[in-house]
Copies of this chain bind each other. A is one copy, B any other.
Amino acid sequence: MSTRKNEVGIIGLGEIPYGEHWDLSLRELASLAIEVAFDSVQKGGFDKGDVGALFVGNAAAEMFVGQGHVNALVADAAGLLNVPSFRIEAADASGAAALRAAYLAVKSGMIDTAMVVGVEKMWDQTSNPRVTSILANTMLDHDWEVEPGLTYTSAFAMMARAYFEEFGVNKEHLSAVPEKNHFNATLNPNAHFKRAFTREQVLKSQIVADPLGLLDCSPVTDGASVVILAADEKIPEYSDSPVWIKGSGQGQDYLALHSRESLTTFEAVKKAAKMAFKQAGITNPREQVDVIEAHDSFSIAELIALESMGFYQPGKAALATFEGETSLNGSLPVSPSGGLKAKGHPLGATGVGQIVELCLQLLGKAGKRQIKDAKVGVAQSLGGTGATALVNVLTIDE
């Protein structure tokens, strides 16, 4: 008789510092993070033979380094040839989508454990001259947005303009988001940019797509993050302190911006949060959630996401951030890792990296950026301009 309660927990974490890794290939980025994950399992004894399936989150290896068949590349690099492997692509929500797919597979009862690898190799001499084009093709609607000239940044710039107009806030408020995230990153050894910027510096940074400046935009980053999932009945073999996935939600929206009802709401995030919060029994997110990792691919995205998840009323996240509520010592800390802006945004790795950060926070292992008594964490990931979104709720045993 199975004693499975059908809960899924996290028993291992691996990550390599995000950054420019000119000396590491896609396969090497993945392998290094996987090694760290194997070594991290509390009781040891978890090795390749114990992995039930491999889920790889990767957004655009085809375009960055000319490599498809990414599931096989990572399986090969990790020496995981005796289990099925899947590569999940959902633009820069790929890592979060891979986590969710793995979660569903473990929950199905067909496998006991799963390894989730998020990885992206973005710094490459061949593809770098085309990075704006690659990012647009990765995120947007090629026929209806990219061909007419929209870029990844300009799409979010339109959202920022609409947000300013609708809610009467301005770029000064917006600048508080990167300021906060860059400060947090100074406390994260795995962050790409461990450097603080003042609100003034953010405000005056070179314009990329008005009103967004360079310091509103997440960087081009290489990285790999890994988590190991296990079914509840298996967990005691490997760990006495698992982090539980209590709720997992995903939502979709139209791919092209022109089809959406609003530029200042992420419908997909709303749907994902509703699904995840319902499953996790979260009825009052503002009170019940201790820490959030949000998807600030651009500064404006963090504000809209917090509102779409229900942490703030529409238009209210800007002032709250400006006043420090989402700072490390605020009442609702958001992206203690440094977020996409400063920890970095290696597309397919990012969503898994958010889970790594939340696990460290819930386990009390987040060092100088530790949120005190964090028991419930929420990870929010966005694909492109919001056609795909994922929200996952993590908890620890009391």
Chain B residues with Cβ under 8 A from A90's Cβ? 69, 71-72, 85-87
Q: Which of B73, B88, B110, B252 meets A80, CB within 8 Å? A: B252
Q: Are B107 and A388 in contact (CB under 8 A)?
A: no
How distant is A63 from chain B, measured CB to nearest CB, in Å? 5
A62 to B347, CA, bound (A): 15
A206 to B6, CA, bound (A): 57
Q: Are A89 and B91 in contact (CB under 8 A)?
A: no
Chain B residues with Cβ under 8 A from A88's Cβ? 86-89
Chain B residues with Cβ under 8 A from A105's Cβ? 101, 104-105, 108
A392 contacts chain B at the CB level, 8 A cutoff: no
A313 contacts chain B at the CB level, 8 A cutoff: no
A65 contacts chain B at the CB level, 8 A cutoff: yes
Chain B residues with Cβ under 8 A from A384's Cβ? 69, 72
Chain B residues with Cβ under 8 A from A67's Cβ? 137, 141-143
> In the complex this chain forms, how many copies of it are found?
2
The segment from A184-192, A214-222, A253-261, A366-374 found at the interface with B is A253-261
A182 contacts chain B at the CB level, 8 A cutoff: no
Q: Which of B107, B108, B110, B387 meets A72, CB within 8 Å? A: B387
Q: Are B255 and A69 in contact (CB under 8 A)?
A: yes
* Contact-residue bracket for chain A: 35 or more
A263 contacts chain B at the CB level, 8 A cutoff: no
Q: Are A69 and B91 in contact (CB under 8 A)?
A: yes
A42 contacts chain B at the CB level, 8 A cutoff: no
Q: Which of A364-398 contact B (CB under 8 A)?
A: 383-384, 387-388
Q: Which of B66, B83, B139, B255 meets A252, CB within 8 Å? A: B83
Chain B residues with Cβ under 8 A from A146's Cβ? 66
Chain A 248-277 near chain B by CB (<8 Å), digits 1 or 0: 001111111001000000010001000000
Q: Are B104 and A62 in contact (CB under 8 A)?
A: no
A122 contacts chain B at the CB level, 8 A cutoff: no
A236 contacts chain B at the CB level, 8 A cutoff: no
Q: Are B76 and A387 in contact (CB under 8 A)?
A: yes
How distant is A133 from chain B, measured CB to nearest CB, in Å? 8
Chain A 78-110 near chain B by CB (<8 Å), digits 1 or 0: 001111111111110000010011001101111
How distant is A352 from chain B, measured CB to nearest CB, in Å? 15
Chain B residues with Cβ under 8 A from A87's Cβ? 88-90
Chain B residues with Cβ under 8 A from A267's Cβ? 81
Assess A76 versus B107: contact at CB under 8 Å? Given A138-B68, A140-B69: no
How distant is A187 from chain B, measured CB to nearest CB, in Å? 33
A176 contacts chain B at the CB level, 8 A cutoff: no
Q: Which of B101, B139, B140, B255 meets A101, CB within 8 Å? A: B101
5 A-B pairs (CB sep. < 8 Å): A66-B142, A67-B143, A72-B255, A73-B255, A105-B108
Sample of 17 further A-B pairs with CB below 8 A, known A69-B91, A72-B255, A85-B252: A27-B143, A62-B62, A62-B63, A67-B137, A67-B143, A69-B388, A72-B253, A72-B384, A76-B255, A80-B252, A81-B252, A81-B253, A82-B271, A85-B90, A86-B90, A87-B90, A108-B108
Residues of A at under 8 Å CB distance from B? 25, 27, 59-60, 62-63, 65-73, 75-76, 80-91, 97, 100-101, 104-105, 107-110, 137-143, 146, 250-256, 259, 267, 271, 383-384, 387-388
